[in-house]
Amino acid sequence: MIAVNADPDVLEKLRIVGGPKLVRELVELFLKYAPERLTAARQSIEAGEVSGAQRALHSLKSSAGQLGMSGIQETCSRGEASAARGDAVGAGAALAQIEAGWPETKAWLTEQMRLV
């Protein structure tokens, strides 16, 4: 499991630039689409199509980075690199870490939305 390694200052900077509504919208979008990306990555790995996992992890990495979620971003980066090498085991291991930490990540982001 990965700990929620995130920088709340990123969300604060987003709030300063775009207001609380922007932060809420970005977090809501992440919470909506991250599970879909995780599912797409898992299905791709299980089907032996690591290129699909690579795309899903890349997308999740970018979204996590926008919210300052460096733990997920770094783990996605490792998984994406593994998938790019055709290493389904490495990509799957990174994905499993993200999946295991998802409840904690979701709870942290939900709390951050409440605070803005």
Separation of alpha carbons 112 and 116, rounded Å:
7
Separation of alpha carbons 11 and 54, rounded Å:
26
Cα distances (Å, whole numbers) of residue 43 to 26, 34, 93: 25, 14, 14
* Domain range annotation of the chain: 8-115
User: Quick check: 3 pLDDT over 90?
Assistant: no
pLDDT tens-digit readout, 41-84 = 999 999 999 999 999 999 999 999 999 999 999 999 999 999 99
pLDDT of res. 4 = 74
For domain 8-115, say whether CATH 1.20.120.160 is its number.
yes
Banded model confidence at residue 115, pLDDT cuts 50, 70, 90: confident
